[in-house]
Amino acid sequence: MLDRLLLGCGLIVGPLFTVAYLVEGATRADYRSLRHPVSSLAIGDRGWTQTTNFFVGGLLCLAFAVGLWRAGPSHWGALLVGVWAIGLLCAGFFRTDPVSGFPPGTPDLPQPNTRQGVLHDLFSLAGFVALAAACFVFAWSGTRGWAIYSVASGVLFAATMVLASAAFAQKESLVDLGGLIQRVSVTIGWAWLAVLAVRTPAG
């Protein structure tokens, strides 16, 4: 029963996290979901909503990682999902710097970056790399179809994150679509985690 509850956290965390940032992004003045990163929602008077979203998402993913460790086919994969969870928690603890002109009146790139912003980016990067790696590690613990889906998810997740990072670094051809690309990327990651939760048998 406990294992099923822990694994169930991996199924619900993605939809909860996604609905929270979509609602907040749609109601935040001057915020453009196509251009601005999800993390920017943690800035300002209502920033506590996205900060809470990071914490809740991180805790649910951490519980999921424990469930994978107890019941799943790969301890290395479970550890990588745990790193992803820690990345989410740290993203909530260390607030991002303004980027791409949000909030209004701030530069497209911070000059210089704050210590909080640097730590936010470093922990987020570690989480992104860990989740991509988890896709490849778990790929070899099931059917051929699962392996293909996992490898494809890992490649697409990593590739879209690279493109989103380039957009937030103000690459001219991508900057206005940075938020959209990032949302595609995290959706790929959340979807893979949900499928992993469903197909992992409880111990």
pLDDT tens-place string over residues 120-173? 999 999 999 999 999 999 999 889 999 999 999 999 999 999 999 999 999 999
**Predicted local distance difference test score (pLDDT) of residue 202:** 78
Q: Report the C-alpha gap between 194 and 197 in whole angstroms.
A: 5
Domain count of the fold of the chain: 1
Q: What is the pLDDT of residues 57-75, one digit of tens each?
A: 999 999 999 999 999 789 9
Say if residues 68 and 77 touch (Cβ distance below 8 Å). yes
| Average pLDDT in the chain | 96
Residue 72's pLDDT is what?
78
The pTM of the full predicted model, rounded to 2 decimals, is 0.95
- Buried-exposed string 171-201: b where 16+ CB fall within 10 A, e elsewhere: eeebbeebbbbbbbbbebbbbbbbbbbeebe
Smallest CA-to-CA distance from 186 within 22, 9, 4 is with: 22
Contact 98, 107 (CB under 8 A): yes
Domain that holds residue 132: 2-199
Bridge partners for 99 per DSSP: 102
- The whole-number pLDDT of residue 135 equals 98
The one-letter amino acid code at 32 reads R
State residue 203's pLDDT score: 66
Give bridge partners of residue 102 from the DSSP assignment: 99
